[in-house]
């Protein structure tokens, strides 16, 4: 009994550390590949925990291997938009100006009822009331209503040194327009952590390591 207790305690500690190293996210924000890893980790931990015939290392080693794989995938996703799109999926516009984008609806295996169900969660009962709606890469639906004063809503146009192309499309702004603003502020896109913009061309940005530099300079 004591051995079973110790095995369970050790495996719990390993799983707890691994989950913490994977970062803090709401369960609803977990990406499909992250969910797959969590399920596999749970399965790998359960066998040696419940069976004395299975070595505890037969559970720990694969769990650590999955953690390493997760960290590699995450690093690659942060360094390349193409890898991020492949691993995490792309943000997909589904409604524009009250019209369903049927091609994107079919590609994402969405039915009309699926769409209407999620719209109702946003207190939207008519598609014509939607200015823009997108399927996030975690499967959630984000909705901007016609009544939301869309022009006043800032959207990310740069994220971690890369253009947020879907948001540029929503704002009907081209990359060259953002380039002009970057040039005006004498900054390079690769140095930008995040930049927001609205249809009135209000441009706000934060540089990478900006907070860290201010902290080191005693500004906090």
Residue-wise pLDDT tens digits, 57-81 = 888 999 999 999 888 888 887 777 6
Among candidate residues 87, 107, 123, the one where a domain is terminated: 87
Residue 28 placed within a domain:
yes
E strands along 70-166, which residues?
92-96, 99-100, 130-135, 141-145, 155-159, 162-163
pLDDT at 63: 92
Residue 136 placed within a domain:
yes
Same domain? For 61 and 106 the reply is no
Which pLDDT band holds residue 212 (cuts at 50, 70, 90)?
A: very low
pLDDT at 72: 87
Q: Which domain holds residue 176?
A: 152-213
134: alpha, beta or left, given left = phi > 0 and alpha = psi -120 to 50?
beta
Residue 219 placed within a domain:
no
Residue 106 placed within a domain:
yes
Residue 73 placed within a domain:
yes
Give tens-digit pLDDT for 13-65: 988 888 888 876 655 567 777 888 888 888 888 888 777 778 888 889 999 99
Q: Whole-angstrom Cα distance, residue 51 to residue 76?
A: 37
Question: Is pTM beyond 0.75 here?
Answer: no
Look at residue 9 and tell me whether its pLDDT is greater than 50.
yes
CA 23 remoteness from chain centre: 12
């Amino acid at each position: 009994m004591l051995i079973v207790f110790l095995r369970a305690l050790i495996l719990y500690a390993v799983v707890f550390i691994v989950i913490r190293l994977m970062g803090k996210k709401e369960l609803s924000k977990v990406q499909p590949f992250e969910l797959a890893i969590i399920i596999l980790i749970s399965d790998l931990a359960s066998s040696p925990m419940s069976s004395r015939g299975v070595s505890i290392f037969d559970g720990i080693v694969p769990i650590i291997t999955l953690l390493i794989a997760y960290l590699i995938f995450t690093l690659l996703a942060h360094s390349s938009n193409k890898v991020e799109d492949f691993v995490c999926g792309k943000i997909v516009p589904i409604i524009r100006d009250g019209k369903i984008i049927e091609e994107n609806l079919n590609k994402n295996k969405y039915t009309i009822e699926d769409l209407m169900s999620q719209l109702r969660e946003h207190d939207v009962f008519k598609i014509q009331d939607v200015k823009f709606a997108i399927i996030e890469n975690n499967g959630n639906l984000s909705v901007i209503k016609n009544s939301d004063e869309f022009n006043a809503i800032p959207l990310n146009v740069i994220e971690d040194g890369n253009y947020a192309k879907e948001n540029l499309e929503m704002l009907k702004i081209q990359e060259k327009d953002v380039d002009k603003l970057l040039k005006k502020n004498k900054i390079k896109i690769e140095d930008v952590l995040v930049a927001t913009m609205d249809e009135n061309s209000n441009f706000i940005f934060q540089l990478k390591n900006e907070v860290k530099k201010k902290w080191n300079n005693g500004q906090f």
